[in-house]
């Protein structure tokens, strides 16, 4: 089996990517951020057969030595480690630069000096800001409207510069709004579903007007694997959107989730969940033509199919117990 490395492996998308990679015969060296509790995050929920092909490494992308040890001898590095909560980026922007920019620099340096054949860098649709043209192609202007999106754009530019300056074999994947089992309640879909699964019928949210292109996490994991294994001449040095091309407002999403769960929902607006006026991204919808053309990738799940699987996850008492549904999760 080829050995690949994943940073941020304990997280929502990272854990699904680890499963995907193992299912395709890879041995995965999975970096989990060091903690004194020896918690491996969502990796702890994977089945024993999957974990038999996973080597868990405690470390930190902010430390070059940790990164070098992780990636040495691997055939590909999937770099997902990041601070991702937009509201917390208003409170602690310095930490976002350290993780999302300096951490990315450390991975790029390790890949460059250790001659790793492929690096997949994770971007975000938030770097586009509110859509100026739709659907959004990779040529859309970058317009960072939060410290989080600015830090991710900084990592993207570093990745571009390393390919241009040193021929570092990096490809950037820019997923739109991924959702699914294991996602934290900092995101809207688990916030809605978890509150309803806990018995609430009046749920608390922020702005209901923004529209998003929601993509099921298994399709996102497949996009990562696709750009990580595609022929170099088709993907290296490029940035690819990954999205469905559809969009739905937060308000309409709540209505749809309520229908799928068979409950009537009332929404209460919470001011602390509303972004500053000039920071809210009002519309995001992807054009993933470049990725489809280069690799043949396409999402395999509709919004409703993904929501059904996510609802089933949260209806399991053991899963729901992992979430604090009665507080605002930043």
Given a cut of 90, whether residue 280 has pLDDT beyond it is: no
Domain annotation covers residue 254: no
Alpha carbon distance 121, 68 (integer Å): 16
The predicted pLDDT at position 233 comes to 98
What pLDDT score was predicted for residue 300? 98
User: Is the pLDDT score of 302 beyond 80?
Assistant: yes
- Check pLDDT > 90 for residue 208: no
Average pLDDT over residues 287-293: 98
Buried b (16+ CB within 10 A) or exposed e, 202-228: ebbbbeeebbbbbbbbbbbbbbbbbbb
Q: What is the pLDDT of residues 217-248, one digit of tens each?
A: 999 999 999 999 999 999 999 999 999 999 99
From residue 173, alpha-carbon distances to 21, 208, 237, 260, 307 in Å are 16, 27, 11, 31, 23
| Encoded tokens for 258 | 């309520």
Whether 88 is in a domain gets the answer yes
Report residue 284 as tokens.
């995001």
Round the CA-based radius of gyration of the chain to a whole number and report it.
19
Q: Reply yes or no on whether 78 is catalytic.
A: no
The yes-or-no verdict on residue 317 having pLDDT over 90 is: yes
pTM of the model: 0.96
Of 78, 96, 148, 323, which residue is the catalytic one? 148
In a domain, 221, yes or no: yes
Q: What is the Cα–Cα distance from 218 to 197, expressed in whole angstroms?
A: 22
What does the pLDDT read at residue 272?
A: 64
Is residue 325 within 8 Å of 204, Cβ to Cβ? Answer: no
89 is a domain residue: yes
In the chain, the percentage of residues whose pLDDT exceeds 90 is: 89
pLDDT value of position 225: 98
State how many domains the chain has: 1
Whether 187 is covered by a domain: the verdict is no
**What pLDDT, in 10s, does the model give residues 254-263?**
999 999 999 9
Domain holding 169: CATH number?
3.40.50.720
In a domain, 326, yes or no: no
**Domain presence at residue 269:** no
Whole-number pLDDT of residue 329 = 72
Phi, psi of 237 (to 5 degrees): 85, 5
Task: Give pLDDT, residue 4.
Answer: 98
**DSSP reduced 3-state for 37:** coil
| Residue 152: domain span | 3-178+216-242
| Tens digit of each residue's pLDDT (9 = 90 or more) over 128-173 | 999 999 999 999 999 999 999 999 999 999 999 999 999 999 999 9
294 in any annotated domain: no
**What residues form DSSP beta bridges with 57?**
31
| pLDDT tens track for 31-78 | 999 999 999 999 999 999 999 999 999 999 999 999 999 999 999 999
For the cut 90, the answer to whether the pLDDT of residue 277 exceeds it is no
Please say whether the beta carbons of 100 and 152 come within 8 A: yes
């Amino acid at each position: 089996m080829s050995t690949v490395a994943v940073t941020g492996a304990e997280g929502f998308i990272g854990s699904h990517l680890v499963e995907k990679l193992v299912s395709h015969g890879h041995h995965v060296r999975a970096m989990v951020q060091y903690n004194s509790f020896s918690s491996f995050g969502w990796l702890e929920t994977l089945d024993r057969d999957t974990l038999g092909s996973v080597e868990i490494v405690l470390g930190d992308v902010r430390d070059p030595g940790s990164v070098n040890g992780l990636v040495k001898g691997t055939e590909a590095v999937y770099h997902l480690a990041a601070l991702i909560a937009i509201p917390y980026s208003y409170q602690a922007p310095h930490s976002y630069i350290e993780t999302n920019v300096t951490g990315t620099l450390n991975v790029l340096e390790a890949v460059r000096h250790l001659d790793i054949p492929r690096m997949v860098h994770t971007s975000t649709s938030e770097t586009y800001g509110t859509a100026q043209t739709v659907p959004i192609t990779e040529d859309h202007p970058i317009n960072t409207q939060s410290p989080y999106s600015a830090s991710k754009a900084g990592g993207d530019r570093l990745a571009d510069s390393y390919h241009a300056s040193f021929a570092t074999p990096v490809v950037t994947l820019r997923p739109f709004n991924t959702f699914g089992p294991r996602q934290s309640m900092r995101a809207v879909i688990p916030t809605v579903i978890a509150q309803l699964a806990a018995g609430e019928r009046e749920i608390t949210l922020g702005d209901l007007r923004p529209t998003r292109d929601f993509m099921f996490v298994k399709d996102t994991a497949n996009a990562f694997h696709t750009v990580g294994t595609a022929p170099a001449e088709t993907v290296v040095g490029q940035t690819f959107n990954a999205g469905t091309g559809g969009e739905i407002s937060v308000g309409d999403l709540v209505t749809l989730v309520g229908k799928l769960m068979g409950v009537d929902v009332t929404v209460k607006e919470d001011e602390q969940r509303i972004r500053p006026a000039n920071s809210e991204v009002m519309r995001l919808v992807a054009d993933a033509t470049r990725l489809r053309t280069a690799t043949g990738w396409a999402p395999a799940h509709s919004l409703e199919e993904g929501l059904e699987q996510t609802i089933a996850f949260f209806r399991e008492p053991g899963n729901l117990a992992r979430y604090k549904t009665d507080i605002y999760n930043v």
